[in-house]
């Protein structure tokens, strides 16, 4: 584990967050300090330890395959930043000349 | 009606001595007087409170007896209530109105509770002081220049200020227990999976758990008994019978073994704080408990483990806030830059930090070194607790290393993260854990005495035993009765 080498601009791109240069610098310093703290985990012998994703593991929780009503369409669309009739209006995904 | 309990209110409403409408009106008046100074609420749901109270009175008049009849309830604003704004104290959800109701809330309302409003929190429940709220500032009712703790600071402050009889919050790494300690109330996080998370806006799904705040352990037990149990809408709720906890409340601790954690020595604490916790341990022994030393050698790795796992889950959960179907949208040149601009404008600094660290910990090349290693550390921490509980029935330790601190006192993020030193290990292990008032200290500069909280934690699913122990401690020490919050200046500005 290496600390302090977090490329904030690259990670922000992965996380879909627009950051200003000042934010990149500030978060870089703050996250570097946190990574320094988490580096202590390197001292724990974990090679033969199983990873825990959930403390109380449950698998394949099923319900009966019966249709049930979902949220009312109008209620859901009312929350949309932009709508057009019965649809969400979103920015163009595919370029016209593609 | 100062310090009336939920049990007393439900009893008197069920007996027809008072009505839910009267209780709701009186509490709304109290909010009007005090919340300008305290700021516990982001929204007060007057209409909903009135309608709910009328419905409860009609049910009682028709002969129903409800466990929470007419009990005024505040709800942390990361839980959905149909038709009410649910903001997570974030600009990205500032105008979002929930289209459904969280199961935990639904159960409380069905049991007769009256929803007064939605309380402030650190944005998306990320923080330990409520200072990360983008929508309001909540003060500690004991000293208005201090924080209420977090992230469920509004829910803790509402009960402490007498602006709600009970409230609910969510706890991911200490977000119920730390504010309960800072505000001098009871705060209880049950076993992971005991209470449905359906309708709780997700932060870290393997850790998030809803729980109550109250003035007494008995009220916490009452709310827990109503909320707990499997929910088909949350597949992580445990399919296991819930043993009612109210009948398990006890008056002494004979035959109970309380673990004192060797690694949680009190030596680093302020002498006055240390003395309060030493007295709390002695009080447990005086009630008949046998104090045993237990070891949690990996507990010291809790914060490092948590600040990889929780942000990793957060970065995944918060990916849904992209400005397309709900919430804020900031238009930009194309869809990608619209996502980026929306999230940049909608999230505050702490949320951004956690998204960044989580994305980093999950990214190619770092996944094994950070995320998987943290998950393995989590296994060791849970195993340490399992071993400790072979020697004891519950573990006692401080809920926080200090009483409430002043606003802006923890500017450095890591120093804020360290506030959860005593609460995070239990969260990682999924354990039921609570904070109960255990004394007061008056640090230099404080307006008066500030409360401290004793954290008690038990094995998985041992809620009944845990609440029983806390009740015995509370009843014999009566710390909550020794001091009252100072008079809160009446001011306009309540929402």
Give the tens place of pLDDT for each residue, B373-393: 999 999 999 999 999 999 999
Say yes or no for a CB contact (<8 Å) between B377 and A78. Answer: no
Total residues found in chain A within this entry: 98
Q: Over the stretch A22-55, which tens digit does the pLDDT of each residue have?
A: 999 999 999 999 999 999 999 999 999 999 998 9
Supply A63's token pair: 């319900």
Bridge partners (DSSP) of residue B257 are B290
> From the centroid of its chain, how far is CA A55?
21
For residue B494, is pLDDT > 70?
no
Mean pLDDT, residues B265-293: 96
Structural element, H or E, at residue B188: strand B186-189
Task: Please report the pLDDT score of residue B490 as a whole number.
Answer: 87
Supply the pTM of this predicted model. 0.97
Reported as a pLDDT band with limits 50, 70 and 90, residue B23 is very high
Contacts of B124 (CB under 8 A, 6+ apart): B78, B88, B89, B90, B201, B203, B314, B318, B351
CA distance B373 to B375: 5
DSSP code, position B485: P
Contacts of B243 (CB under 8 A, 6+ apart): B463, B464
Searching chain B, which residue's CA lies closest to the CA of residue A62? B235
Structural element, H or E, at residue B170: strand B166-171
Helix, strand or coil, per DSSP, at residue A26:
helix
CA distance B487 to B410: 27
Q: Decide if B362 is inside a domain.
A: no
CA distance A57 to chain B (A): 8
Helix, strand or coil, per DSSP, at residue B166:
strand
Query: What are the extents of the domains in chain A?
Result: 1-44
Q: Over the stretch B54-74, which tens digit does the pLDDT of each residue have?
A: 999 999 999 999 999 999 999
Supply B460's token pair: 């998985």
Helix, strand or coil, per DSSP, at residue B437:
strand
Supply B164's token pair: 């709600």
Please confirm, yes or no, whether B151 is among the known catalytic residues. Answer: yes
Which domain CATH number covers B144? 3.90.1300.10
Say yes or no for a CB contact (<8 Å) between B412 and A49. Answer: no
Mutation target to probe the B interface, by most B beta carbons within 10 A, among A33, A41, A82 is: A41
Query: Does residue A73 sit at the B interface (CB-CB below 8 Å)?
Result: no
For residue B256, is pLDDT > 90?
yes
CA distance B428 to A98: 48
Task: Please report the pLDDT score of residue B21 as a whole number.
Answer: 98
Q: Decide if B258 is inside a domain.
A: no
* Residue B399 near residue A16 (C-beta atoms within 8 A): no
Query: Does residue B386 sit at the A interface (CB-CB below 8 Å)?
Result: no
Say yes or no for a CB contact (<8 Å) between B352 and A54. Answer: no
CA distance B426 to chain A (A): 11
Searching chain B, which residue's CA lies closest to the CA of residue A79? B326
* Residue B308 near residue B366 (C-beta atoms within 8 A): no
Q: Decide if B352 is inside a domain.
A: no
For residue B2, is pLDDT > 60?
no
DSSP codes joined into one string, B283-351: HHHHTTPEEEEE--TTGGGHHHHHHHHHHHHHHHHGGG-SSSSSS-----SSHHHHHHHHHHHHS-HHH
Please confirm, yes or no, whether B175 is among the known catalytic residues. Answer: yes
Closest CA to B132 of B142, B121, B146, B122: B122
Query: Does residue A68 sit at the B interface (CB-CB below 8 Å)?
Result: no
CA distance B87 to B42: 9
Query: Does residue B356 sit at the A interface (CB-CB below 8 Å)?
Result: yes
Bridge partners (DSSP) of residue B290 are B257
Q: Which residues span the domain enclosing B167?
A: 6-251+433-481
Range from A69-73, B286-290, B350-354, B426-430 carrying the lowest mean pLDDT: A69-73
Reported as a pLDDT band with limits 50, 70 and 90, residue A3 is very low
DSSP codes joined into one string, A34-47: HHHHHGGGGGS--T
Helix, strand or coil, per DSSP, at residue B243:
coil
For residue B482, is pLDDT > 90?
no
Supply B106's token pair: 């639904």
For residue B89, is pLDDT > 70?
yes
Closest CA to B154 of B74, B217, B272, B44: B74
Residues in chain B with CB shorter than 8 Å from the CB of A35 are 357
ipTM value for the complex = 0.94
CA distance B178 to B398: 10
Closest CA to B172 of B58, B377, B312: B312
For residue B241, is pLDDT > 60?
yes
Mean pLDDT of chain B: 96
* B72-76 vs B166-171, strand pairing mode: parallel
Searching chain A, which residue's CA lies closest to the CA of residue B412? A30
Mean pLDDT, residues A62-79: 93
Reported as a pLDDT band with limits 50, 70 and 90, residue A5 is confident
CA distance A28 to A7: 8
Residue A29 φ then ψ, to 5°: -65, -45
Please pick, among B19, B128, B151, B152, the residue that the annotation labels catalytic: B151
Task: Please report the pLDDT score of residue B1 as a whole number.
Answer: 42
CA distance B138 to B157: 8
Q: Over the stretch B310-358, which tens digit does the pLDDT of each residue have?
A: 999 999 999 999 999 999 999 999 999 999 999 999 999 999 999 999 9
Q: Decide if B56 is inside a domain.
A: yes
Residues in chain A with CB shorter than 8 Å from the CB of B417 are 34, 37
Q: How many domains does chain B have?
A: 1
Report the phi/psi class of residue B489: left, alpha or beta, with left for phi > 0 and alpha for psi in -120 to 50.
Answer: beta
Reported as a pLDDT band with limits 50, 70 and 90, residue B480 is confident
- Tokens 């309830």 correspond to B73
DSSP code, position B4: -
* Residue B122 near residue B88 (C-beta atoms within 8 A): no
Searching chain A, which residue's CA lies closest to the CA of residue B326? A80
Residues in chain A with CB shorter than 8 Å from the CB of B412 are 30, 33
Residue B405 φ then ψ, to 5°: -100, 170
CA distance B179 to B239: 30
Task: Please report the pLDDT score of residue B3 as a whole number.
Answer: 52
The CATH class of the A1-44 domain is: mainly alpha
DSSP codes joined into one string, B438-478: EEEE--TT-SS-EEEEEEEE-STT-HHHHHHHHHHHHHHH-
Closest CA to B258 of B479, B457, B452: B457
Mean pLDDT, residues B100-116: 98
Mean pLDDT, residues B179-208: 98
Structural element, H or E, at residue B398: strand B394-398
* Residue A17 near residue B356 (C-beta atoms within 8 A): yes
Residues in chain B with CB shorter than 8 Å from the CB of A58 are 193, 235-236, 238
Supply B419's token pair: 């506030």
**In this predicted model, which residue has the larger pLDDT, B72 or A6?**
B72
Query: Does residue A90 sit at the B interface (CB-CB below 8 Å)?
Result: yes
CA distance A63 to A66: 8
Mutation target to probe the A interface, by most A beta carbons within 10 A, among B101, B305, B319, B376 is: B376
CA distance B395 to B412: 30
Total residues found in chain B within this entry: 495
* Residue A57 near residue B192 (C-beta atoms within 8 A): no
């Amino acid at each position: 584990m290496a600390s302090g080498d977090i490329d904030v601009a690259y990670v922000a791109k992965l996380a879909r967050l627009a950051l200003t240069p000042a934010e990149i610098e500030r978060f870089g310093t703050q996250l570097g300090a946190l990574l320094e703290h988490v580096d202590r985990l390197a001292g724990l012998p974990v090679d033969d330890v199983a990873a825990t994703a959930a403390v109380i593991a449950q698998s394949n929780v099923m319900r009966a395959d019966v249709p049930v009503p979902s949220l009312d369409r109008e209620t859901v669309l009312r929350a949309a930043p932009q709508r057009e009739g019965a649809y969400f209006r979103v920015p163009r995904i595919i370029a016209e000349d593609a | 009606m100062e310090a009336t309990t939920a049990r007393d209110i439900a009893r008197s409403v069920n007996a027809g001595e008072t009505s839910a409408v009267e209780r709701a009106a009186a509490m709304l008046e109290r909010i009007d007087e005090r919340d300008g100074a305290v700021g516990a609420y982001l929204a007060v749901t007057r209409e909903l409170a009135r309608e709910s109270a009328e419905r409860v009175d009609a049910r009682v008049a028709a002969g129903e007896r409800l466990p929470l009849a007419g009990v005024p309830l505040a709800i942390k604003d990361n839980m959905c209530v149909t038709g009410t704004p649910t903001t997570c104290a974030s600009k990205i959800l500032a105008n979002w109105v929930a289209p459904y109701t969280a199961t935990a809330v639904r159960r409380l309302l069905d049991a007769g509770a009256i929803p007064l409003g939605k309380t402030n929190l650190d944005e998306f429940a990320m923080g330990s002081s409520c200072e990360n709220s983008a929508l309001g500032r909540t003060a500690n009712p004991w000293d208005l220049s201090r924080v209420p703790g977090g992230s469920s600071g509004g829910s803790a402050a509402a009960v402490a200020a007498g602006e709600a009889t009970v409230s609910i919050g969510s706890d991911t790494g200490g977000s119920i227990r730390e504010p309960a300690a800072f505000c001098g109330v009871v705060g209880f996080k049950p076993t992971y999976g005991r209470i449905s998370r359906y309708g709780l806006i997700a932060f870290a799904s393997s850790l998030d758990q809803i729980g109550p705040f109250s003035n007494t352990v008995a009220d916490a037990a009452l709310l827990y008994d109503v909320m707990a149990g499997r929910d088909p809408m949350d597949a992580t709720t445990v399919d296991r019978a819930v043993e009612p906890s109210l009948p398990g409340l006890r008056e002494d601790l004979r035959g109970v073994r309380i673990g004192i954690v060797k690694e949680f020595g009190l030596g680093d604490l302020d002498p006055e704080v240390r003395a309060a916790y030493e007295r709390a341990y002695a009080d447990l022994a005086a009630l008949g408990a046998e104090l045993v030393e237990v070891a949690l050698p990996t507990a010291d790795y809790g914060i490092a483990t948590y600040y990889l796992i929780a942000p990793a889950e957060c970065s995944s959960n918060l990916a849904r806030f992209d400005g397309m179907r709900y919430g804020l949208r900031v238009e930009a040149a194309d869809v990608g830059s619209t996502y980026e601009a929306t999230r940049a404008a909608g999230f505050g600094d702490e949320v951004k930090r956690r998204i960044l660290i989580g994305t980093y910990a999950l990214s190619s090349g770092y996944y094994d070194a950070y995320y998987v290693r943290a998950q393995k550390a989590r296994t060791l921490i849970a195993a340490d607790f399992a071993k400790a509980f072979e020697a004891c029935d519950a573990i006692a330790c401080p809920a926080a290393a200090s009483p409430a601190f002043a606003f802006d006192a923890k500017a450095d993020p890591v120093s804020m993260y360290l506030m959860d030193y005593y609460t995070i290990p239990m969260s990682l292990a999924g354990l039921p854990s609570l904070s109960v008032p255990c004394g007061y200290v008056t640090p230099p500069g404080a307006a008066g005495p500030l409360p401290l909280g004793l954290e008690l934690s038990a094995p998985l699913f041992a809620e009944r035993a845990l609440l029983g122990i806390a009740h015995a401690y509370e009843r014999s020490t009566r710390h909550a009765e020794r001091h009252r919050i100072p008079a809160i200046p009446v001011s306009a500005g309540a929402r």
